[in-house]
């Protein structure tokens, strides 16, 4: 075979479409398209979006199915911005096949995504989210009886350096100049301002400061210790099927106790709109959601709450409170301390934190490049809808994302890997057995006899007696 050399000559001006290379398509996206076509996804979103477009003559817009598919691609590919999504779709032939675009059709630009997002209201995006839940219900992956709730923060598209005072509109440097002028320091240099600001005691409050670029963003301390402009996101997840029933975005200064009931009501409404007839029976959350009002509301709604209490040095007094408050708090305390409450608490930590890791860390939603609570909610809802589609795909086809090893043809690899793991465990057990008998061979006859007498005695004991005779180490 002769060596091929890269040609730098001018390409052909006319190329027949039959001569263009065609993508075989990614197995994951091919099966996802099959799933969406089975549920008539394109017909649903086109009928849903029709009232927001003109009925008169004009250039047809981008089909809504392509718009929502591109947002799903943002989650599956871990892309955090619309520019990245548009570039990835234009660069990949398999994604163009997933979008249903021909060889000569260009992919939508990031500005087109912005125009469509501004045209379609938040209710349309919530309806698409509910439609994905209906697909889960159709595949028997939606129960909705035990719901776990938790929240996290996402970074907003606003900088701390640009915050201004709510009362005067001064930025940080102008505010420091005002403080220095009150102390008799006039015409300070930038170095003087930095030294003065470093020495004084300072706090930044959302009541006094705001962002001029995103008024809905709030100043929050992130989990890694940084102070950033952020939003609060909240998930309500079905711990029986790992499906997120509700995903809300709130202002970061809203407490967990203030948004608990709203998220639980949304979860129940979404489940009912998806075709589920079951009612939420258990609500599991961490101690940040514990409040008497929330517990009384759950008791009145017929929902069993499993919310741990914060540590307190004092006993609660119920003299000036209704009897239902005491009954709700003590009932919740009894359930949390029980075996089922501890098991549900562990499942809450596992499933909810995993959903945040999938959506925010690997799904590209930890940092928002959009401004305004409504626009951030639209994008985040579609990320969570993509995550629910990944759960459905993993349950049906064994692959939840296109970048995982569970793609087409990986079933044989999984069998080989399972066999390797089984052989490794058997070899380890064999080595432990050999080492144990070598240890016995080096022991004296009296030690061996004592070992077998103790072994036979413990074998004839009852399980309760064995637990009582252990050291507890």
* 114-154 residue pLDDT tens: 999 999 999 999 999 999 999 999 999 999 899 999 999 99
Could you say which of 218, 233, 258 is where a domain stops? 218
Residues 149, 173, single domain; the answer is no
Mark which of 351, 372, 393 sits at the end of a domain.
372
Structure tokens at 61: 């817009």
Lowest mean pLDDT among 79-88, 256-265, 408-417: 408-417
Q: Integer distance in angstroms from the first to the last C-alpha of the chain?
A: 70
Residues 196 and 260 grouped into a single domain:
no
Query: Helical H runs in 120-234?
Result: 122-138, 172-182, 190-199
Residue 464 is predicted with a pLDDT of 47
302 within domain boundaries: yes
In 3D space, the residue among 95, 9, 75 whose CA is nearest the CA of residue 385 turns out to be: 75
395 lies in a domain? no
Domain boundary among 372, 396, 417: 372
Q: How far apart are CA 240 and CA 397, in angstroms?
A: 19
Least confident of 85-94, 196-205, 278-287: 196-205
The tens digit of pLDDT for each residue in 46-81 reads 999 999 998 877 788 899 999 999 999 999 999 999
Closest CA to 265 of 300, 213, 221, 225: 300
* Confidence (pLDDT) at 400: 86
Tokens linked to 283? 């609500």
CA–CA distance, 387 with 313 (Å, rounded to integer): 42
Higher pLDDT, 442 or 226: 226
Residues 337, 250: one domain? yes
**Is the domain of 152 the same as that of 231?**
yes
Does residue 196 fall inside a structural domain?
Answer: yes
Give CA torsion, residues 336, 338, 344, 349, to 10 deg.
Answer: 60
Q: Mean pLDDT throughout 364-376? A: 94
Indicate whether 72 and 149 sit together in one domain.
Answer: no
Residue 415 pLDDT exceeds 90: no
- Whether 125 is covered by a domain: the verdict is no
Q: For the chain, how many structural domains are there in total?
A: 3
Query: What's 223's DSSP letter?
Result: T
CB 217 within 8 A of CB 201: no
Q: What percent of the chain has pLDDT over 70?
A: 83
Q: How confident is the model at residue 435, as a pLDDT?
A: 54
Task: Note whether residue 411 is domain-resident.
Answer: no
Q: Is the pLDDT of residue 381 over 60?
A: yes
Rounded to an integer, what distance in angstroms lies between the CA atom of residue 451 and that of residue 427? Answer: 25
The answer on 365 and 328 residing in a single domain is yes
3-state secondary structure of 221: strand
Q: What is the average pLDDT score of the chain? A: 85
User: With 70 as the cut, is the pLDDT of residue 358 above it?
Assistant: yes
Higher pLDDT, 224 or 262: 262
Note the pLDDT of residue 427. Answer: 65
Neighbouring CB atoms inside 10 A of 153's CB total 18
Mean pLDDT of 338-357: 93
Distances in Å between the Cα of 109 and the Cα atoms of 280, 364, 411, 463 are 42, 19, 37, 67
Distance (Å) of CA 255 to CA 113, 154, 205, 222, 426:
32, 15, 15, 15, 52
Q: Are 196 and 112 found together in one domain?
A: no
- Residue 108 sits in the same domain as residue 169: no
pLDDT at residue 398, as a whole number: 85
Residue with token string 């963003």: 217
Res 413: pLDDT: 55
Q: What is the pLDDT of residue 262?
A: 95
pLDDT average, residue stretch 395-417: 67
Reply yes or no on whether the pLDDT at 305 is more than 90.
yes
- CATH code for the domain in which residue 255 is found: 3.30.420
361 part of a folded domain: yes
Range of the domain at 70: 21-54+61-120
In a domain, 3, yes or no: no
pLDDT of residue 147: 96
- 49/45 Cα distance (integer angstroms): 6
What pLDDT, on a 0 to 100 scale, did the predictor assign at position 467?
Answer: 43
pLDDT at 61: 87
3-state DSSP call for residue 306?
strand
> What are the structure tokens assigned to 429, written together?
């057990």
Apex CA 148: angle with CA 147 and CA 154, to 5°? 130
Residue 407 in domain: no
pLDDT tens by residue, 262-280 = 999 999 999 999 999 889 9
pLDDT tens-digit readout, 417-471:
566 766 766 666 665 555 555 554 555 555 555 555 565 555 455 444 444 443 3
Residue 473's pLDDT is: 36
Does 177 lie in the same domain as 69? no
| Torsion over CA: 156, 161, 162, 164 (sign) | positive
Q: Are residues 149 and 289 in the same domain?
A: yes
Residues 324, 176 within the same domain:
no
> Does residue 107 share a domain with residue 29?
yes
- In this predicted structure, the answer to whether residue 407 has a pLDDT above a threshold of 50 is no
Chain mean position to CA 352: 8
């Amino acid at each position: 075979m002769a060596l091929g050399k890269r040609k730098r000559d001018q390409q052909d001006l006319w190329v027949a479409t039959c001569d263009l290379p065609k993508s075989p398509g990614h197995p994951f996206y091919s099966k996802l398209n099959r799933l969406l076509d089975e549920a008539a996804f394109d017909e649903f979103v086109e009928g849903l979006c029709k009232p927001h477009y003109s009925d008169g003559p004009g250039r047809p817009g981008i089909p809504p199915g392509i718009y929502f598919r591109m947002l799903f691609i943002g989650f599956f590919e871990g892309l955090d911005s619309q520019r990245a999504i548009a570039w990835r779709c234009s660069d990949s032939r398999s994604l163009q096949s997933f979008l249903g675009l021909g060889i000569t059709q260009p992919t939508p630009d990031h500005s087109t995504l912005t125009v469509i997002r501004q045209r379609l209201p938040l209710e349309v995006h919530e309806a698409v989210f509910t439609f994905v839940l209906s697909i889960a219900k159709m595949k028997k992956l939606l129960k909705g009886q035990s719901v776990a709730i938790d929240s996290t923060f996402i970074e907003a598209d606003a900088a701390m350096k640009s915050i201004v005072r709510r009362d005067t509109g001064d930025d940080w440097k102008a505010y420091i100049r005002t403080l220095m002028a009150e102390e008799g320091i006039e015409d300070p240099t930038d170095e003087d301002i930095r030294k003065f600001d470093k020495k004084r005691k300072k706090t930044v409050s959302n009541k006094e400061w705001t962002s001029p670029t995103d008024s809905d963003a709030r100043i929050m301390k992130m989990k890694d210790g940084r102070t950033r402009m952020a939003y609060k996101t909240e998930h309500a997840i079905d711990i029986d099927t790992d499906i997120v029933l509700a995903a809300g975005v709130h202002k970061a200064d809203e407490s967990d106790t203030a948004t608990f009931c709203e998220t639980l009501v949304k979860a129940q409404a979404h489940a009912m709109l998806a075709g589920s007839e079951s009612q939420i029976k258990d609500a599991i959350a961490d101690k940040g959601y514990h409040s008497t009002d929330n517990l009384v509301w759950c008791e009145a709604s017929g929902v069993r709450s499993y919310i741990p209490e914060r540590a307190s040095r004092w006993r609660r007094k119920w003299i000036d409170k209704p009897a239902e408050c005491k009954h709700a708090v003590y009932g919740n305390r009894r359930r949390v301390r029980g075996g089922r409450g501890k098991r549900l608490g562990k499942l809450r930590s596992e499933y909810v934190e995993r959903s945040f890791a999938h959506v925010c860390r690997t799904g590209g939603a930890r940092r928002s490049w959009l401004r305004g609570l409504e626009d951030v909610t639209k994008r985040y809802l579609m990320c969570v809808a993509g995550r629910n589609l990944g759960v459905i795909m993993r349950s049906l086809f064994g692959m939840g994302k296109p970048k995982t090893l569970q793609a087409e043809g990986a079933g044989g690899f999984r069998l080989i890997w399972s066999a390797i793991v089984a052989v490794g465990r058997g070899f380890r057990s064999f080595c432990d057995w050999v080492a144990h008998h070598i240890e016995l061979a080096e022991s004296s006859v009296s030690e061996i006899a004592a070992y077998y007498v103790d072994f036979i005695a413990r074998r004839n004991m009852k399980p309760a007696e064995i637990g009582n005779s252990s050291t507890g180490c």
